[in-house]
A and B are shown apart, each in its own frame.
Chain A
């Protein structure tokens, strides 16, 4: 007994499939044409915490020149120092261009070059701050570095790894999303960042209001390896970074604090030794040895970032240390 029969002829089926595929092809053509004709704004793929931070810092480095003091470094620089508070305390214009620990000193150098263009706008003082955990790693994640470079070049690289990404690139959707959708429909953030900021746009607003600084809203138990040492690759990276510091700009270097309860035995000496060595590789004018190597646990959001109260304390301490250098 027949179970089911297809009462539909092949040409009708082909017309149906063809109309849908044809519709997709027309949209694809339209999206690519818009992209090629230069009608769309440049890509701005702000979709999560990391991309918001990177894009904000890239824009700030490019557009907010003429600062007396620029902070550079990893996420501990970004989230442990409030640059707007520092501006008030030092009464000079400070800008925080700290990024993420997935990036290395090459990215910091890239942002510094943008800040120092044109040369008369170069900062008088650069403060480089990194967490000991980032100093142990020192190497950047390739995709993160590429993301920053692509954004600065106004380029959107086609995705070749996942089938969905490839499909989005082929159909022109990726371009439309990065150039239009991500600009106008802000993506919600997840977890603690979502609760603190809501959407990418509010994180950006916060960073703008705090001159590039962000606040880590988490309250995570401390985790990670406590064996702190300088990575072998850091020496070459540091020398390379030093070459990007404009002539006449003072370079100060510091290592951000770790929670006191998390610090290994004899960490004070390790910290001092690491700082001295790193400062010599950088040819730094000042090694910020008066900054604390550790702070009370209650001042931390995570093992690598301070909380709001910790940021207030640490920013005040940094201001005092920098005042002392004058």
Chain B
């Protein structure tokens, strides 16, 4: 059941009605959310619900046990149990075949005959998201920054909360869990914000991302030999596609949560306006980057222990962040590229003795161009389907293979990118992500009505699932 499907619209409408009916009962509300979340998830593959149940029960019980003991070794064992349980499920479903393949390839290179058994299993939708979410709960309790909940219903609803279950944002328990145990007040401002986020999120997905997808597929088709112009256009198209696809999903999740009285974190903050790579990561997939910072980078030692250790920690964090996206070497390369960028930025900042943003416009423009160069090359690595394709496209970047369709590609890219550029320029100039809500009711109605019609116009023209569902 995709957000951009008629089936989901019907599901959500029915859910809202039931939600209104249970407004006087906290347990009833949370039970409704939980059941709806399981129906939503089960619509993909009901058998995979078992994995969510295992993850939920494991962290609930570990959380309770952590709350009862102050013994350091016992707490450490409990944390290890949670890590081992969650990560082995994730590793089995997501990474087993990758490691088996890599071992086989390595064996062949060294002249060994090694034939591991491969698994024929589907990757459970959203497994990387809810695993990280439940892990953060246990780690926070272990660190003593969160008290465990005794309410299994609340905890299960927090893990499976359908607006953000399959593609985030990865919500921290300290932020979202208390919202299940307290009454919520749904105000006019929240409904207005929810409506705007849902319309803008759906617009970004259906109108922009889905129409850029075929352009990207064309340029990244391994059987075609394209040149630098086409690769640059295709990579820019992919940068916008993945941003609109993912931030569209996040906006929809936040918007729906607003209708229910919940507050979900901002996951994207105009990342392509960043003037350095560190700023990019403060604006891109914020829930993952802060998760990696808080639970991986800091656990590895963070920036304590000198430049070399800091660099190592940054690189490890980013490589693992790359691997989180998918079990393939080009994701590892993508992570390594960003890790290198962050290390170089840190060295540069130290050298210039200040990491504060510079105000000089020439410097900002140069910073933006460098950052976008790195980010765009990163997207080429990310979108490529193999290392061979990475190499061939990297070489072709400096070659010319004009295609008769290049002008049409550029025109389509400009046409579909324009609404995003306009809205984000407006948001940047005013420094307000919700600036459309400042418009008068009639002008806002015209804007939102026009966007809904654009969604209707492009609905189903290109039917693509959300990219981040595969992660």
Contact = CB atoms under 8 A, between A and B. Distances in A.
B449 A3 contact: no
B403 interface: yes
A19 B445 contact: yes
Nearest to A26: B446
A25 B412 CA distance: 28
Contacts of B224: 195
B261 A171 contact: no
Nearest to A9: B188
B411 A185 contact: yes
B187 A8 contact: yes
Contact of B186 (A7, A185, A199): A7
A22 interface: yes
A168 B444 CA distance: 22
Nearest to A12: B188
Interface string A16-35: 10111111111110000000
Given A27-B450, A205-B404, A4 B183 contact: yes
Interface string B157-200: 00000000000000000000000000111111001100100000
Interface in A165-200: 167-168, 171, 173, 176-177, 181, 185-186, 188, 190, 194-195, 197-199
Interface string B394-417: 000000000111001101100100
Contact of A198 (B22, B223, B409, B444): B409
Given A3-B25, A3-B183, A23 B447 contact: yes
Interface string A29-63: 00000000000000000000000000000000000
Contacts of B30: 3
A205 B24 CA distance: 65
Interface stretch (B318-326, B342-350, B370-378, B451-459): B451-459
A312 to B, nearest CB: 21
A2 B412 contact: no
Contact of A6 (B186, B217, B441, B456): B186
Contact of B223 (A12, A24, A195): A195
Contact of A24 (B408, B453, B460): B453
Given A3-B184, A19-B445, A202 B26 contact: no
B186 A8 contact: yes
Contact of B24 (A3, A185, A186, A201): A3
A13 interface: yes
A163 B6 CA distance: 10
A209 B445 CA distance: 48
Interface in B266-308: none
B221 interface: yes
B23 interface: yes
Contacts of A4: 19, 23, 29, 183-186, 260-261
Nearest to A23: B449
A5 B188 contact: no
A164 interface: yes
B449 A188 contact: no
Contacts of A185: 411-412, 415
A20 B448 contact: yes
A195 B224 CA distance: 7
B26 A2 contact: yes
A3 B26 contact: yes
A195 B221 contact: yes
Range, interface on chain A: 35 or more
Given A7-B187, A15-B441, A25-B449, A201 B408 contact: yes
A21 B448 CA distance: 9
A186 B185 contact: no
A269 interface: no
A1 interface: yes
B264 interface: no
Contact of B404 (A3, A18, A163, A198): A198
Interface in A296-312: none
A19 B441 contact: yes
B456 A167 contact: yes
B445 A23 contact: yes
Contacts of B215: 188
A227 B404 CA distance: 41
B445 A194 contact: no
Given A7-B185, A20-B195, A164 B456 contact: yes
Interface in B209-233: 214-215, 217-218, 221, 223-224
Contacts of A20: 195, 445, 448-449, 452
B415 A19 contact: no
Given A4-B183, A15-B441, A19-B444, A26 B449 contact: yes
Contact of B412 (A16, A173, A188): A188
B28 interface: yes
B408 A202 contact: yes
Given A2-B24, A173-B456, A188-B218, A23 B223 contact: no
B447 A1 contact: no
Contacts of B456: 164, 167-168, 171, 173
Contacts of B27: 3
A198 B230 CA distance: 12
A25 B449 CA distance: 8
Given A2-B183, A22-B445, A23-B448, A198 B403 contact: yes
Contacts of A176: 457
Contacts of B409: 198-199
Contacts of A19: 441-442, 444-445, 448-449
A71 to B, nearest CB: 24
A304 B132 CA distance: 53
Nearest to A165: B460
Contacts of A173: 453, 456-457
Nearest to A192: B223
Contacts of A167: 456
Contact of A27 (B26, B183, B446): B446
A201 B25 CA distance: 59
B436 to A, nearest CB: 12
A197 B405 CA distance: 7
B183 A1 contact: yes
A23 B446 contact: yes
Nearest to B191: A8
Contacts of A24: 449-450, 452-453
Contacts of A190: 214
A197 B192 CA distance: 45
Closest 8 CB pairs of A and B: A23-B449, A198-B405, A19-B445, A3-B29, A23-B445, A24-B449, A188-B214, A4-B184
10 contacts: A3-B24, A6-B23, A6-B186, A23-B446, A23-B447, A23-B448, A27-B453, A163-B6, A186-B408, A188-B412
Interface of A: 1-9, 12-13, 15-16, 18-28, 163-164, 167-168, 171, 173, 176-177, 181, 185-186, 188, 190, 194-195, 197-199, 201-202, 205
Given A7-B186, A19-B445, A188-B215, 7 more contacts: A2-B183, A5-B183, A7-B185, A19-B444, A24-B453, A164-B459, A168-B457
